[in-house]
Amino acid sequence: MALAVTSSSAVHSSSLSSALDQTRGAQFGTFQPSDRPHLPSTSVNFSRRRCAVKPLNAESKRNDSIVPSAATLFSPAEVIEKVEVEDYEKLAKELENASPLEIMDKALEKFGNDIAIAFSGAEDVALIEYAHLTGRPFRVFSLDTGRLNPETYKFFDEVEKHYGIRIEYMFPDAVEVQALVRSKGLFSFYEDGHQECCRVRKVKPLRRALKGLRAWITGQRKDQSPGTRSEIPVVQVDPVFEGLDGGVGSLVKWNPVANAKGNDIWNFLRTMNVPVNSLHAKGYISIGCEPCTRPVLPGQHEREGRWWWEDAKAKECGLHKGNIKEENLNGNGNGAVHANGTVTHADLFNSQSVVNLSRPGIENLLNLGNRKEAWLVVLYAPWCRFCQGMEESYVDLAEKLAGSGVKVAKFRADGEEKAFAQRELQLGSFPTLLFFPRHSSRPIKYPSEKRDVESLLAFVNAIQ
How many CA within 13 A on the CB side of residue 259? 20
Please, are residues 103 and 88 in contact by the beta-carbon 8 Å criterion?
A: no
Q: Specify burial of residue 393 (Cβ count, 10 A radius: 0-12, 13-18, 19+).
A: buried
Is beta strand 252-254 parallel, antiparallel or unpaired with respect to 215-217? Answer: parallel
Q: Residues 197, 289, 317, 387: which is the catalytic one? A: 387
For 145, 208, 428, the CA distances from 174, given in Å and listed in that order, are: 11, 14, 38
Question: Rounded distance, CA 316 to CA 324, Å?
Answer: 9
Nearest C-alpha neighbor of 366 from the set 307, 275, 273, 435 = 435
Question: Rounded distance, CA 460 to CA 349, Å?
Answer: 18
Please, are residues 419 and 270 in contact by the beta-carbon 8 Å criterion?
A: no
Q: Annotated catalytic, 387?
A: yes
In terms of residues, how long is the chain?
464
Q: Annotated catalytic, 384?
A: yes
Instruction: Name the residues annotated as catalytic.
Output: 384, 387
